[in-house]
Amino acid sequence: MNKIYIVLITTLTSLVGGCAFTPQQANLDPHVSVMRTSEGAGITIAVKVIDERPSKSLGRRGTAYGAAAEITSAQELATVVYEEIVDALKAKGFSVEDYSSSSETSLKAEIRLLEYSTSQGFWTGGVHVNGAIKVVAVKAGKEYERIYRTEDEKRAVFVPDANSNEEMINTTLSTLLNKIFEDRALLLHLSN
């Protein structure tokens, strides 16, 4: 009976952990929750987003033995972030144009980190997603600068599947982008 139990557990673990060795392309689909207002009063903002991460990889899936297959994004991260920022600024009543160094009002977002990683534990493993974006807003020669950070950790008995990984990555990216638009000082700087 003990041998059958060991074989069943080993087989189940192999089947569940097998997905960790398959590379994953995550579909980025963050959601920024902003209330529509007119506080932007039609002010034109030039927007630019730069992906400054040292690697375009989002990280690696994990196993009980360490890092496994690579996770990449199906889209350009800078493009996804740009679109979300533009939509949120428009919802706040701003007008948006392409970035130019001569623009009187501009917002530049520098993506510093979006990273998925795993850690090992005794009964469970940890899944971590960390993110950081630096924003530089310029209005009439005055600058407002801030770095927004977020991190998320979940414990799991089995290796998370692709859908769970994608959900964690999108939740972290959404939280990060929402922090930007929850920053009243930034919005006041841009609108005054």
Confidence class of residue 18 from pLDDT cuts 50, 70 and 90? very low
User: What is the tens place of the pLDDT at every residue in 24-54?
Assistant: 799 999 999 999 999 999 999 999 999 999 9
Query: How much is the pLDDT for 142?
Result: 95
**Average per-residue pLDDT in the chain?**
85
Encoded tokens for 35:
């209330």
Res 118: pLDDT? 80
Write the pLDDT tens digit of every residue in 88-146: 999 999 999 988 767 899 999 999 999 998 877 666 677 889 999 999 999 999 999 99
What are the phi and psi torsion angles at 85 (to 5°)?
-65, -45
Listed in sequence order, the residues at least 6 apart from 83 whose beta carbon sits closer than 8 Å to its beta carbon are none
Beta-carbon neighbour count of residue 171 at 10 Å? 16
pTM: 0.82
C-alpha pair distances (Å), 7 with each of 1, 11, 13, 17, 63: 10, 6, 10, 15, 19
Higher-scoring residue by pLDDT: 168, 162: 168
Segments making up each domain of the chain, as ranges? 2-191
Residue 43 to residue 79: CA distance in whole angstroms: 23
- At 164 the pLDDT is 86
How far is it, in rounded angstroms, from Cα 7 to Cα 3? Answer: 6
- pLDDT of 158 reads 67
When pLDDT is cut at 50, 70 and 90, the band that residue 161 belongs to is confident
List the one residue out of 152, 136, 132, 133 whose CA is nearest residue 144: 136
Q: What is the pLDDT of residue 6?
A: 47
Asked if 102 and 138 count as a contact pair (C-beta separation under 8 A), the reply is no
**So what CATH class is 2-191?**
alpha beta
In this prediction, residue 13 carries a pLDDT of 43
pLDDT of residue 168: 92
Per-residue model confidence as pLDDT tens digits over 142-155:
999 999 999 988 77
Q: How many CB atoms sit inside 10 A of residue 145's CB?
A: 12
Among 111, 88, 109, 91, smallest CA distance to 99 is for 109
In terms of pLDDT, which residue wins out, 4 or 74? 74
How far apart are the C-alpha atoms of 148 and 142, rounded to whole Å? 20
